């Protein structure tokens, strides 16, 4: 299962507009995509789940995807987030 850990760098965390763009981008993939923050996780295709994580600045999030287009999903979504994050590894 492809996974990617990112550091949220934007000083206001992951706020509504980028979160909505992220959900819109995630919805184009068939794979199940999960965003993990601390001990909680959210379906990347659900805005309420994503906003409910209340992701703070300077914290790590991990994206993972399961499905036929998992690799493409992760590369698209990390590009989508690139203005707001730095890659950890």
Partner 1 sequence: MGLVLISHSGAVVEGLRDMVSQVAGDDVMVGIAGGTEDGRLGTSAPRIEAALRLALEASTDGVVVLFDLGSAALSLELALEDLEPSARDRVRISEAPLVEGAILAAVQASIGAGLDEVEATAASASTMTKIPRA
**Contact footprint for partner 1 (CB under 8 A):** 13, 16-17, 20, 23-24, 27, 45, 47-48, 51-52, 54, 56
Could you tell me the smallest distance in angstroms from the CB atom of residue 61 to partner 1? 14
Would you call 85 a catalytic residue per the annotation? no
Residue recorded with tokens 């923050």? 37
Please say which residue, 44 or 74, places its beta carbon nearer to partner 1. Answer: 44
Could you tell me the smallest distance in angstroms from the CB atom of residue 19 to partner 1? 8
Q: In DSSP terms, which residues pair with 21 in a beta bridge?
A: none
Q: Which of 9, 13, 15, 49 is catalytic?
A: 15
Please say which residue, 13 or 67, places its beta carbon nearer to partner 1. Answer: 13
Of all residues in the chain, what percent are helix, strand and coil, respectively (each to 5)? Answer: 35, 30, 35
Please say which residue, 54 or 87, places its beta carbon nearer to partner 1. Answer: 54
**Among 61, 80, 64, 75, which residue's Cα sits nearest to residue 31?**
64
Angle between helices 70-81 and 16-26 in degrees, nearest 10: 160
> Could you list the active site residues?
15
């Amino acid at each position: 299962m492809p996974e990617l850990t990112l550091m949220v760098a934007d000083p206001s965390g992951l706020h509504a507009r980028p979160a909505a763009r992220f959900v819109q981008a995630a919805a184009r993939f068939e794979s199940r995509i999960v965003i993990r923050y601390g001990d909680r996780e959210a379906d990347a295709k659900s805005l309420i789940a994503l906003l409910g994580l209340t992701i703070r600045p300077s914290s790590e999030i991990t994206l993972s995807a399961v499905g036929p287009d998992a690799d493409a999903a992760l590369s698209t979504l990390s590009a989508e987030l690139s203005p707001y994050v730095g890659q950890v590894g």
